[in-house]
Amino acid sequence: MTDSPGDLAGTMLQAAFIGALAAGCFWILRPFLLPMIWATAIVVATWPILLRLQAYLGGRRSLAVAGMALMLLLVLLVPLSFTIAAIAQNADRIVAWATSLSAVHIPLPPDWVAGLPLVGSTLASQWQQIAGLGTGAVSARLAPYASTIMTWFVGQVGNVGLMLVQFLLTIVLATVLYSRGETAAAGVRQFALRLAGAPADDALHLAAQAVRAVALGVVVTALIQAVLAGIGLAVCGVPFVVVLIAVMLILGIAQLGPGFVLIPAIVWLYWKGDTTWGTVLLVWTLVVLSLDNFLRPMLIKRSADLPLLLIFTGVIGGLVAFGIIGLFIGPVLLAVGYTLLEVWVTARDAETAPRDKSLK
């Protein structure tokens, strides 16, 4: 028996109304989606810290939530404030340094450059071409790139106010989630069970593990490397240390590493003739860069029972697809998909196992 035309029209109208309602809710919540995702990732990653702080404070959740909110303010706003202040205080020095680069005489490459394997001859020839252009021609070639970089930089500085608002909104939402975490988790679990059934529990558990693994394995490793590298730069006399630490932190989170800052700093020290501190920074750079080989895998394995390849793929793929927030979205999506696929394959094997036994 088929549905009558009236029932079909009613069903279509209901579906259209639900779709319009969902679209309207999404449109209203759209400005809050990014802070909400950040707040959720932060709360999931730091929930064990909240519980330990609450136990230390005699079970008083309000004091623990206030402490976590204050900690987030210090972690998010203080480094940003120091970076902005450092850029503002050293703006004249940065402009003077950039201007002086146009007058730098580029010498011919040393003999050992041509002897480098694979890239030596190409590098030496390109270096000779640039050195033969003269300072005026080099400045003319670099001028369009400098203009583009300055335009981008001014645009980013203009977004600082919006960034601060996003940070504050993230802290407010994280504070609400800290105070009502159990209720929110129960609601998400009920929705997931309604949507996916029994496998939802495992999927949610692994999603939380993936967030904690990224927070510990990626963010903490990047923070430690940036701080240690900044200490090395400060000891060796490299200027703009606070700004460089912020840049290295971003590069570390983006899985590029602090080498993009440390290696040019080493070259700069050797260039100015300070070979002693250049060698010291070179050794320190090798130590800092080696932390990736054991610290990050150790922290990830401590937090998540997931393949390291899945975490790294989710981090890099999520970063490319969604930006910085993709660091958390990518591993979570892969963890949920991995769990559901594993449950489906296991269930399929369980269904076919008795039949295989009967054929023997």
Higher pLDDT, 188 or 154: 188
Does position 360 have pLDDT exceeding 50, yes or no? Answer: no
pLDDT digits (tens, 9 = 90+) for 223-241: 889 899 999 999 988 887 8
Q: What is the mean pLDDT of residues 249-266?
A: 82
What residues contact 82, with CB distance under 8 A and at least 6 apart? 242
In whole angstroms, what is the distance from residue 136 CA to residue 85 CA? Answer: 34
Q: For residue 86, give the nearest of 241, 268, 247 by alpha carbon.
A: 241
Higher pLDDT, 12 or 105: 12
Q: What is the mean pLDDT of residues 270-283?
A: 84
Higher pLDDT, 106 or 126: 126
In whole angstroms, what is the distance from residue 211 CA to residue 213 CA? Answer: 5
> How does the average pLDDT of the chain come out, rounded?
75
- DSSP states of 207-266: HHHHHHHHIIIIIIHHHHHHHHHHHHHHHTT-S-HHHHHHHHHHHHHTTS-THHHHHHHH
The rounded percent of the chain whose pLDDT value lies above 90 is 3
pLDDT of residue 284: 92
Which band of pLDDT confidence, cut at 50, 70 and 90, is reported for residue 162? low
Q: Which two tokens stand for residue 82?
A: 């120091």
In whole angstroms, what is the distance from residue 87 CA to residue 81 CA? Answer: 10
In whole angstroms, what is the distance from residue 275 CA to residue 283 CA? Answer: 12
pLDDT digits (tens, 9 = 90+) for 40-90: 888 888 888 888 999 998 888 889 999 988 888 887 666 666 666 666 666
pTM of the model: 0.64
Q: Which two tokens stand for residue 297?
A: 């895998």
Q: Which two tokens stand for residue 203?
A: 């999927």
Which band of pLDDT confidence, cut at 50, 70 and 90, is reported for residue 314? confident
Does position 268 have pLDDT exceeding 60, yes or no? Answer: yes
Phi, psi (rounded to 5 degrees) for 308: -60, -35
Q: Are 189 and 201 in contact (CB under 8 A)?
A: yes
